[in-house]
Structure 1
Amino acid sequence: MPYVIGIDLGTSAVKALLVDQNGVVAGEASRSYPLFHEHSGWSEQRPDDWVEATVEALKELASQGGVSAADIEGVSFSGQMHGLVLLNKEGEPVRNAILWNDTRTTAQCREIEATLGGKLLSVTRNPALEGFTLPKILWVREHEPEAFAQAAIFVLPKDYVRYRLTGELHMDYSDAAGTLLLDVAGKRWSDEVLAAFNLDAGFCPPLVESHGLVGTLLPQIAERTGLSPATKVFAGGADNACGAIGAGILSEGLTLCSIGTSGVILSYENDKTKDFAGKVHFFNHGKEDAFYAMGVTLAAGYSLSWFKKTFAPGESFDELLAGVGDVKPGSNGLLFTPYLVGERTPHADSTIRGSFIGIDGSHERKHFARAVMEGITFSLHESVDMFRQAGKSVDQIVSIGGGAQNPVWLQMQADIFGAEVVALENEQGPGLGAAMLAAYGCGWFASLDDCAASFVKHARSYKPNAEAAAVYGKLFRVYQQVYGATRGLNAELAAFRG
């Protein structure tokens, strides 16, 4: 049977999935690598650590019994977005990679806003945030001119790994969309943005579709991994785009809810003119000529982890959440906002902090636990609400991550989102999306949609309960007032934080 491999290059580790033609995961391997925080707000990694970890993971997959290297037809990638890798003329990194969660570039973001004005949103379709790539480029040019002088081209993390495996430099549209250098709707590097910051067009790598064939494995890589040098390598996509593919978010009306440490609401979009005024991200999809809108809650699953660590450190999550299903929607008048580390959507605010509102003597721990779950879901619903206000249909939401592990939370999502919520039988996230891009690229399916029909299996679905949905509709409008009511208080309290 033929196989493909999906490689998910994450922030802490790389994970590789071996997937057969029926979408069954036949094997997986992962390797971790270090993260460096030399100064407060800095977050860096060594690009060659990614390469070594990926090679080792591929070697483990190729050595698994019952699978011949000749049967592994293709490899593709999912990768952490926005990270800056600067390469010299010899294709070698000139410094460590600056990652998506690095926050040193606030001054450069203000410079981008002042320089581009309205073109920032009309061309790149996204606001200037510290996580994006262009601010990092400007920071290196300003603070490390010697390193920048050596840089001939930039790539993103997975692109560097793929380059080291194939010897070919490319970047796909879904990852390029997170650089602030791409004309997202026009699918080309923006001459206007490049000229505004005196960057040469040759500084940007050639663009390619996510399912595009970019080469085969270099002989030395094939020898080290045990794979065939004829193994086809496909471009791959940004982790969120691949996560959407792996969840089957490939047509209008479908939305993804992912609750990990942070939370993501991602909705498929085929109208490149749709304008969200920068309130949510708007990126190219891994599916050709498609897009997605995305909102982010910074402390989604983290809020629940914090609550458990603080108030139930010796208990499991099942023990912590026992009884929340017996609490009626609204947690007996208790409301939580998950702003523990600031917020992203719709409030790009690093100073705001979380709140419990409405505490009285009748509240027990189960009320607080349910309020945390509701608050996280309300925060995500702010993105759903904005999508609908912009004319998008949100009919079915595929829920993955921690929020999909608890039936009470899945029903809560359906009630708050006002949409059918579906869990997956075998959730594999961005790695499966990468494998699907390889499967499509290898010609196993006529389209990504056909691949999803075979690979993505829905489990139980949850439909809104009319009574609960009505309660949550009223409570959501109260939730939306908390940010404005507490913003000034939190700005004053910031002076007292250690």
Structure 2
Amino acid sequence: MKYLLGIDLGSGSVKATLIDRYGHHAADASSEYPTHYPQAGWAEQDPQDWYRAAVRTLRQLIGSFAFDPADIEALTVDAATHTAVLLDADHRPLANAIFWTDQRSAAQAAWLNTHVRDLLRNQTFNTATSVWTLPQFMWLKDHQPEQLDKTHLVLFAKDYLRYCLTGDLATDRIDAMGSLFYDAAGQRWSPELVALAGLKADCLPTVREPTDPAGTVSVQAAADTGLAAGTPVFTGMTDTAMELVASGTVALGQSAVKLATAGRFYAISDTPCLNPYLINYQYIIPGTWYPGAATKASASSFRWYRDAFADNLVCPDGRNAYTLLDEAAAGVAPGSEGLIFHPYLMGELTPYNDASLRGSFVGVTMRHRQAHFTRAVLEGVAYSLRDCYEVLSSEGLAPDAARIIGGGAKSPLWRGILADVLGIPLDKPVHDDSSFGAAMVAGVGCGLFKSVEDAAARCARIESRTEPDAARHACYDKHIQRYRKIHDALAPIYQEDYPIE
């Protein structure tokens, strides 16, 4: 049997998924690595941790599944956009990578939107926020210029991991767009925006298609990981695009909503959408885009809540804390008896682009118990995604149904709440993990699948559909109005130099 391998460099772990030639899941493994928070509002990761986690993951995968690594026909790597690695002349990282949740460059992002807004919109089709690489580099130029002075080459997260496996130094056009200094209209690095980043033009990698060849697994990487030396590797792309492929969201008009570390709502389109609260990326299928709206803390809000308020929860019968929290929250009526949570734990993107916003529970009474707070967290994230949905709707991109992806989609309760808040059916794919999509893209690269559409037809399957309830949808329509009024009341307080320490 021949196999395809996808490797996802996630927000806190590396996951590898092996699929067979017919699109069936064969095996997977994962290994965690840390995020560092050296100051309030900062978030960094050590690029060398990524490779160490990949080595552990691949050795675990190979050791737990009876197959010959030489039977892997191809592999591809993915990761989130925006996270850049600065390399010295020997291609070693100069420092930790600024992670995309880092907020230190909010002032630089505001400067960009004030002074070069038209240039950004005409070349990148996007608006600056602190998640993008360009304002992060501008912050480095202002505060740590020695890092940029020593930089020989810039790679993005998945490209650095692929470099460790192959020695290949390049990126793809989707990850390039995540920098905010790539001219997507002209398909080149933008001289004007690169200069603002404080970079030399020769520091930037070659830009390829996601399915282009990117070398083979090196002898050293084979010794480290257990992979076979010479295994073909393809360039890859961002994790969200891989998730869309895995879920079968490949046709114009299709949409997907994502409950992961961040929340996303995407629609496949034949053009970008020049709305300042939408993010635009080209898609792997030529001539298509996936404009999307984003909320910063989606499933990460639930994880934060679990860690902060349910860390002592006893989990019998092998069930995890999330399952127990869900079961209790299911007994609370929609609206959580007036308790409202705002998931602005790291500021917010759509529809505010406001890094100063903070999370809150509002409306607490003596009646509220843990189950109410749990349900309020799930509902608050759903309200934020409803904001995303309405921005897409204002641009004519609202779907009649959407595929629901990400770790949070495993919760039937959360799927039901989100369907009721949005008022549309949600289809859960059998597989939506970006590492599964990366394996599919590897199959396109090596010619096993004729196209991305062919890969989706052969590999993507729907597991279940969650229909909205009309009465609950009407109830949530009332609660989301209060949710928005509370935002409007609190936002000025946070914007008055409210401390983040």
Verify same fold: TM over 0.5: yes
1:88 matches 2:88:
yes
Check conservation: 1:327, 1:367, Cα contact below 8 A: yes
Q: TM-score under structure 2 normalisation?
A: 0.88
Structure-2 separation of matches of 1:366 and 1:408: 13
Counterpart amino acid of residue 467 in structure 1: A
Aligned to 2:410: 405
The 1:253/1:465 distance shift into structure 2, 3 A limit, reads farther
Partner Cα distance (1:34, 1:339) in 2: 22
Secondary structure in structure 2 of the residue aligned to 1:66: coil
1:293 aligned to 291, 294, 308, which one? 291
For 1:42 and 1:337, locate their aligned partners in 2 and report how far apart those are by CA, in whole Å: 21
Structure 1, 429-438 or 479-488: larger mean CA deviation:
479-488
Report the Cα distance in structure 2 between the residues aligned to 1:335 and 1:215, rounded to whole angstroms.
51
2:206 alignment counterpart: 206
Counterpart CA distance in 1 for 2:180 and 2:456 is 30
Deviation at 1:423, TM superposition (A): 1.7
Query: How far has the Cα of 1:359 moved from its partner?
Result: 5.2
CA distance in 1, matches of 2:416, 2:185: 36
- Residue 344 (1) aligns with residue 342 (2): no
The letter of the residue matching 1:193 is L
Please list, as runs of the form range in 1=range in 2, the aligned pairs for 1:171-210 lying within 5 A after superposition. 171-195=171-195, 199-210=199-210
Deviates more, 1:118-127 or 1:31-40: 31-40
Unaligned runs of 5+ in 2: 315-320
Post-superposition Cα deviations, 1:347-366, rounded to whole Å, max 9, x if no partner, equal 22233334445556666654
What's the counterpart of residue 282 of structure 1?
A: 280
CA distance, structure 1, for counterparts of residue 116 and residue 123 of structure 2: 10
Contact 2:11 2:261 survives alignment (8 Å): no
Change (3 A) 1:95 1:304: closer
In 2, are the aligned partners of 1:320 and 1:369 still within 8 Å (CA)? yes
Who is 2:11 aligned against?
A: 11
The equivalent of 2:240 in structure 1 is 240
Judge conservation of contact 1:282–1:293 (CA < 8 Å) in 2.
yes
Name the CA shift for 1:398/1:97 in 2 (closer, same or farther; >3 Å).
same
Map of 1:355-434 to 2, 5 A cutoff? Answer: 355-358=360-363, 366-427=371-432, 429-434=433-438
Q: CA deviation at 1:435?
A: 0.9
Question: Any idea what the Cα deviations from partners look like across 1:221-277, whole Å, max 9, x if unmatched?
Answer: 3344343333111111112222222222212332222223432223322223x222x
**How far apart, CA to CA, are the structure 2 residues paired with 1:335 and 1:36?**
30
One-letter amino acid of the structure 1 residue matched with residue 51 of structure 2: V
SS at match of 2:378: helix
Letter in 2 for 1:137: F
Question: Are the counterparts in 1 of residues 135 and 197 from structure 2 also a CA contact under 8 Å?
Answer: no
1:141 aligns with 2:141: yes
Change (3 A) 1:62 1:307: closer
Quick one: percent identity of the two aligned structures? Answer: 35
- How many positions carry a matched residue from both structures? 494
The one-letter amino acid of 2:461's match is K
**TM-aligned CA distance change 1:304 to 1:11, over 3 Å:** closer
1:439 equivalenced with 2:443 (yes/no): yes
Q: State the Cα deviation string for residues 153-190 of structure 1 (Å, max 9, x = none).
A: 21111111212322221111221111011123443322
Query: Within 5 Å, which residues of 2 pair with 1:267-346?
Result: 267-272=267-272, 274-276=273-275, 278-308=276-306, 313-314=312-313, 316-322=321-327, 324-325=329-330, 327-346=332-351
* C-alpha spacing 1:54/1:338, structure 2 compared with 1 (3 Å): closer
> Partner residue of 2:483?
479
Q: Cα–Cα, structure 1 residues 8 and 192, in superposed 2: closer, same or farther, change >3 Å?
A: same
The one-letter code matched in structure 2 to 1:48 is Q
Q: 1:121 matched to which residue of 2?
A: 121
Q: Secondary structure at the match of 1:281?
A: coil
Cα 1:491–1:230 change in 2 (3 A) is closer
Structure 1 residues 59-114: Cα deviation after superposition (integer angstroms, max 9, x where no partner):
44445553223311111011132122122344333333232233332343344335
Change (3 A) 1:490 1:217: closer
Pair 1:322–1:40, CA change in 2 (3 A)? closer
- RMSD of the alignment, in Å? 2.9
Letter of the 2:434 counterpart: P
Identify the residue that residue 258 of structure 2 maps to in structure 1: 258
Query: How far apart, CA to CA, are the structure 2 residues paired with 1:359 and 1:57?
Result: 43
Residues 299 and 339 in structure 1, CA contact (< 8 A), matched pair in contact too: yes
C-alpha change, 1:340 and 1:165, in structure 2 (3 Å) is closer
Structure 2 counterpart of 1:494: 498
Partner residue of 1:461 out of 461, 465, 482: 465
Report the Cα distance in structure 2 between the residues aligned to 1:347 and 1:492, rounded to whole angstroms: 16
Local SS of the residue matching 2:154 = strand
Asked whether the 8 Å contact 1:287–1:448 carries over to 2, the reply is yes
Structure 1: any 5+ residue segments left out of the alignment? Answer: none
Q: TM-score, normalised by structure 1?
A: 0.89
